Structure 1
Amino acid sequence: MNRTAVDSHENWLDPEDLEFARRRLPILYVNAVPTRVDDTGVVTSVGLLLRATPQGEIRRELVAGRVMHHERIRDALQRHIEKDLGPHALPQIPASPLPFTVAEYFPTPGVTAYHDPRQHAVALAFIIPVAGDCAPRQDALDLAWLPPAEAADDALQKEMLGGHGILLRHALAHLGFPPAP
């Protein structure tokens, strides 16, 4: 594989510049719904991260993160999946990744179903099968693999903030799993 490594120091902003940019520009993100698939390609489970919020609440989240300047989308997906799920996750990113939806996060609640109090962000959302061993990393407390029907449960949806639950439901619908009655 001929990937050019992204120098995060040279290709991203220092904290002060990032705050300045977040107040003035939409920032590009990727969201990833990690999945396990059977031999026929049918999704058997969905991976959700467990994280603590700054307020001390425990919430479920999808893999998410910024795209750096001069970074390909596929490389950003690879980087964030490895950052959150570990270096042995083995994400199966297609040669030409296409998002299943685009989520627009606003700092003002209610503009869209997606909310990020820090910024206006545009996230390309992908469903990515992972084939390897996953272990939560960074600030993730745990990683749970749930059957699609359980992932669509209303109680689980309430554990997800900022629209991640809605994004998860869109992913499940895209995969052919209708919302629970």
Structure 2
Amino acid sequence: MGPWLSPEELEFVRRKVPMVYVDIVPVRTDESGQVESIGLLLEAQDDGISRALVTGRVLFHETVREAIVRHLEKDLGPVALPQLSPSIQPFTIAEYFPTPGSGKYDERQHAVSLCYIVPVMGECGPAADTLEVTWFTPGEVRTPELQAEMNESHAQILRQALGQMGEL
């Protein structure tokens, strides 16, 4: 799949129409399907270093399933081995707005993100722009200290994922 839009075209489109994204909470589970750990990325942003979910755009002519796998492989490495069910369903839909105070905030655009919890079975390590992949227990990700290391939008999605997993 070649380039989707040039940076200039993407900037123009972002000002005109909502973009479709996926936000992914990678997890490791035990044999019975109970969540043992949750993977968070450590990334360098313009405003410093922060923890983040796996996230990214759905490209033109790409299925949501393909986007999930592509972003997991981009951030966790090519052998992360995501385990997607035949019928993938988001646990929530996040809406980002370019206006502060109007919900989840993304200064670049209006975006709609389908949010998934995805078990991964393979080896995971930092890839692309990721500095580190760290696995935390559900109890550790519930702490205000760890959530303070994330932008508020990702922290909100993580809390919703914890509720969905019965970990609140």
TM-score normalised by L of structure 2: 0.98
Superimposed CA distance per residue, residues 33-92 of structure 1 (whole angstroms, 9 cap, x where no aligned partner): 00000000000000000011113x110000000001111100000000000000010000
* RMSD between superposed Cα atoms in Å: 0.8
- Identity across the alignment (%): 52
Q: Which runs of 5+ in 1 are unaligned?
A: 1-6
**2:136 maps to what in 1?**
146
What's the CA shift for 1:18? 0.2
CA contact (8 A) 1:36 1:46 kept: yes
Query: Matches of 1:162 and 1:103 in 2, distance apart?
Result: 12
The total of aligned residue pairs comes to: 168
The runs of at least 4 aligned residues of structure 1 exceeding 6 Å deviation read none
**Structure 2 residue corresponding to 1:131, chosen from 111, 115, 121:** 121
Superimposed CA distance per residue, residues 116-174 of structure 1 (whole angstroms, 9 cap, x where no aligned partner): 11111000000000000001111111011000010111111111115000100000010
TM-score normalised by L of structure 1: 0.91
**2:20 maps to what in 1?**
28
**2:2 maps to what in 1?**
8
Query: Matches of 1:138 and 1:115 in 2, distance apart?
Result: 24
**2:60 maps to what in 1?**
69
Query: Matches of 1:123 and 1:25 in 2, distance apart?
Result: 14
1:96 lines up with 2:87 in the alignment: yes
Give 3-state SS (helix, strand or coil) of 1:163's partner. Answer: helix
Superimposed CA distance per residue, residues 1-48 of structure 1 (whole angstroms, 9 cap, x where no aligned partner): xxxxxx132xx1111100000011100000100000000000000000
Query: Matches of 2:131 and 2:79 in 1, distance apart?
Result: 17
CA contact (8 A) 1:59 1:161 kept: yes
Query: Matches of 1:24 and 1:84 in 2, distance apart?
Result: 28
**Larger strand fraction of residues:** 2
Give 3-state SS (helix, strand or coil) of 2:105's partner. Answer: coil
**2:39 maps to what in 1?**
47
What's the CA shift for 1:115? 1.0
1:160 lines up with 2:160 in the alignment: no
Q: Which amino acid aligns with 1:138?
A: A
Query: Matches of 2:101 and 2:139 in 1, distance apart?
Result: 27
Query: Matches of 2:85 and 2:98 in 1, distance apart?
Result: 32
Give 3-state SS (helix, strand or coil) of 2:118's partner. Answer: strand
CA contact (8 A) 1:86 1:135 kept: yes
